[in-house]
Structure 1
Amino acid sequence: MTHTLSLILQVILSLGLLNVWLVRAGSGTAYRGGSANSLKEEFHAYGLSDGIFYLVGFLKVSCAIALLVGIWVPSLVLPAAAVLVLLMLGALAMHVKVGDPPKKSVPAFLMLAMSSAVVAISLS
């Protein structure tokens, strides 16, 4: 049962991350930090450099791919999910930094909860 839950969460996390970073990066959403209309603008609103934007993007897309491949190569799941936990904690901190209303933090919080569950399942 927990293995199935982990697989479901891996797919949700992966597709969500790939959607945000590869499909909707240039689109405004109600959840963008500050008054940003794109993902890159959101990083600038947080006071982060283009280098950090590209590093975080690389890490998130890599983790998304690792979680999908982890369906067949389980050794990839724990490290990818653990990196996502750290990245989502950072995302939440950035929302707090710029004084965003709690609503804007909901996606990051949900990703944190799901990646934390994957870590917990992987360690059990």
Structure 2
Amino acid sequence: MEYVRIILQLIVGLSLLNVWLLQNKKPTRWRGGNATTLTEEFQVYGLPVWMCYVVGFLKVSLSLVLLAGIFYPFLIKPAAIALAILLLGSIIMHLKIKDPLIKSFPAFLFLILCLVLIYLS
């Protein structure tokens, strides 16, 4: 079961780092509304730009903590709980602007994976 947990940590942690550090200025089919970047997406949600940086800092930091949990398992549960809350917020924002449900699929998938990590820790 430990290997399953580690694989889930790698999937969630590396995927979120990819979104926030490598794909943040690139258009994807998952962006809210017609946004092409993460900062535009937050504006589409009616949120201030500074909130994008706060959420980005939290998601990057928590992703790194989740990955550190591979070596320090006591870090997994708090990081997964905090990420689950942020991912739930992402889903709510997509629903708020009436995006098609498919746009919130990545957030929903990572939320489920975080819940599994919480259960396994």
Query: What TM bracket, shorter-length normalisation?
Result: over 0.9
**Percent identity between the two aligned chains:** 48
Q: Deviations over 1:35-71 (max 9, x none)?
A: 1000110011001112211111011001110011111
Following TM superposition, where does structure 1 have runs of at least 4 consecutive aligned residues deviating by more than 4 angstroms? none
* Superposition TM-score, scaled by structure 2 size: 0.97
**Residue 27 of structure 2 aligns with which residue?**
28
Aligned residues: 121
**Residue 53 of structure 2 aligns with which residue?**
54
**Residue 107 of structure 2 aligns with which residue?**
108
SS in 1 for 2:32: coil
**Residue 72 of structure 2 aligns with which residue?**
73
In the alignment, the residues of structure 2 paired with residue 21 and residue 86 of structure 1 have an alpha-carbon distance, to the nearest angstrom, of 17
The answer for unaligned runs of 5 or more in structure 1 is: none
SS in 2 for 1:31: coil
In the alignment, the residues of structure 2 paired with residue 40 and residue 66 of structure 1 have an alpha-carbon distance, to the nearest angstrom, of 24
Instruction: Give the superposition deviation at 1:74.
Output: 1.0
Q: Deviations over 1:55-92 (max 9, x none)?
A: 11011001110011111111111110000110011000
